[in-house]
């Protein structure tokens, strides 16, 4: 019961952290962001003002200024999971005749993920400068709906190209701006969206593969112990056959760290799987997260449609303004557009 209580506390803390990230990552429209806002409004009258000020300053430094805290947290969690997997699960897998190549897949995926993670952290997302300003203005046409021609960034003092946005955390305008990711401490834009997408998919593959190997190890441990064929005496003194509840309690008591890790891996897998599917969808329809959330403020009332007819230029959330076909959209993500400079004769 103590371990179950600890696990519940852990789940609450994780959901709180996710809510904070969603709330202060510039995507307040998410369900977690709205939930956090509601909870804050209810709880704030009961919290002293001095504590609220300290929390606000801390949150501002954490989410509104560039820092490497989440990179360090990412590495700590990675070391903890791989350490536990290597210390306990890997050896069990080999004892249960799991092929070595299958047991080593998480380590191969770790190398691949680390490469994409490094590229996400250190690659230029497509920073707009005075030197490349004239060139980037030609990459995308203005749609006159989400992106208007002639808008000047008040900070950079440069005309904003279509699909660009100024990141307040990095203090720069980014071409084909998607969002600022606190986990890599960098913007996601035209030049590194491909690395970010592959990074997400590789993390999902790691979590899913390690979860399958861990679950398979626990399953074989139960089969070898013969728990499913045992009996126990309940509180009334009656003999009962061991069911799934009894097996789960036994696993919690016998392999607490492994079960804890399995729960974490399953949670991370489904969380990132949904997030990865969202970004894959955006890549297929040639949209960005910024455009996805920005389009909610756009409606047909801006188009002045003819009465009795649908507006032909109305924005569709399932097909972006820059949709060019699924294959071309994916090609644009992995090979970003760049205007060809004509040579003078």
The DSSP line for 24-71 is: TTT-TTSHHHHHHHHHHHHHGGGS-HHHHHHHHHHHHHHHSS--SHHH
Q: How confident is the model at residue 345 (pLDDT cuts 50, 70, 90)?
A: very low
Token pair 């991370």 in the structure block, residue: 268
Q: How confident is the model at residue 311 (pLDDT cuts 50, 70, 90)?
A: very low
pLDDT for position 128 = 95
**Per the residue annotation, which of 22, 120, 173, 181 is the catalytic one?**
181
Angle made by CA atoms 137, 143, 145, in degrees to the nearest 5: 125
Pick the residue with more confidence: 308 or 22?
22
Q: Is the pLDDT of residue 241 over 50?
A: yes
CA atoms within 13 A on the CB side of 113: 18
169-206 exposure pattern, b = at least 16 Cβ within 10 A, e = fewer? bbebbbbbbbbbbbbbbbbbbbbbbbbbbbbbbbbbbb
DSSP 323: -
pLDDT for position 21 = 53
Whether 115 is catalytic: no
Q: Is the pLDDT of residue 344 over 80?
A: no
User: Among 101-115, 182-196, 214-228, which stretch is predicted with the lowest mean pLDDT?
Assistant: 214-228
Pick the residue with more confidence: 129 or 301?
129
Q: Which two tokens stand for residue 100?
A: 């070595």
Looking at the chain, which runs of residues are DSSP E strands?
Answer: 165-167, 172-174, 179-181, 186-188, 231-233, 239-241
pLDDT for position 310 = 43
Which pTM was predicted?
0.81
The CB density around residue 228, as the number of other CB atoms within 10 Å, is: 13
Give the SS3 label for residue 16. Answer: helix
37: left (phi over 0), alpha (psi -120 to 50) or beta: alpha
Q: Is the pLDDT of residue 259 over 60?
A: yes
CA atoms within 13 A on the CB side of 216: 19
> Average pLDDT over the chain, rounded to whole?
80
Instruction: Provide the Cα torsion 211, 334, 111, 83; round to 10°.
Output: -40
């Amino acid at each position: 019961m103590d371990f179950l209580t600890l696990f519940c506390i852990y789940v609450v803390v994780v959901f709180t952290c996710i809510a904070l990230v969603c709330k202060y990552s510039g995507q307040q429209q998410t369900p977690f962001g709205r939930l956090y806002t509601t909870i804050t409004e209810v709880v704030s009258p009961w919290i002293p003002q001095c504590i609220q000020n300290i929390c606000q300053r801390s949150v501002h430094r954490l989410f509104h200024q560039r820092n490497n805290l989440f990179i360090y947290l990412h590495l700590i969690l990675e070391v903890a999971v791989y350490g536990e997997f290597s210390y306990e699960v890997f050896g069990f897998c080999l004892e249960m005749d799991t092929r070595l190549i299958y047991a080593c897949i998480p380590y191969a995926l770790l190398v691949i993920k680390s490469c994409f993670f490094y590229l996400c952290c250190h690659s230029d997302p497509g920073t707009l400068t005075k030197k490349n300003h004239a060139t980037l203005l030609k990459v995308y046409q203005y749609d006159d709906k989400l992106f208007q021609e002639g808008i000047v960034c008040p900070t950079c003092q440069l005309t904003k190209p279509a699909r660009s946005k100024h990141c307040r955390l990095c203090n720069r305008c980014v071409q084909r701006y998607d969002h600022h990711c606190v986990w890599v401490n960098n913007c996601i834009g035209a030049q590194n969206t491909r690395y970010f997408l592959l990074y997400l998919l590789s993390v999902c593959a790691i979590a899913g593969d390690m979860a399958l190997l861990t679950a398979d190890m626990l399953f074989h441990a139960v089969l070898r112990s013969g728990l499913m064929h045992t009996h126990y005496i309940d509180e009334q003194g009656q003999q009962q056959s061991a069911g799934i509840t009894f097996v789960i309690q036994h696993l919690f008591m016998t392999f607490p760290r492994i079960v804890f890790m399995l729960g974490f891996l399953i949670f991370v897998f489904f969380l990132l799987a949904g997030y990865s599917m969202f970004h894959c969808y955006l890549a297929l329809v040639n949209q960005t997260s910024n455009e996805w959330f920005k389009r909610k403020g756009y409606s047909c009332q801006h188009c002045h449609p003819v009465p009795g007819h649908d507006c032909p230029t109305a924005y569709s959330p399932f097909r972006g303004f820059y949709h060019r076909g699924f294959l071309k959209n994916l090609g644009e993500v992995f090979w970003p557009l760049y205007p060809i400079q004509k040579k003078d004769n």
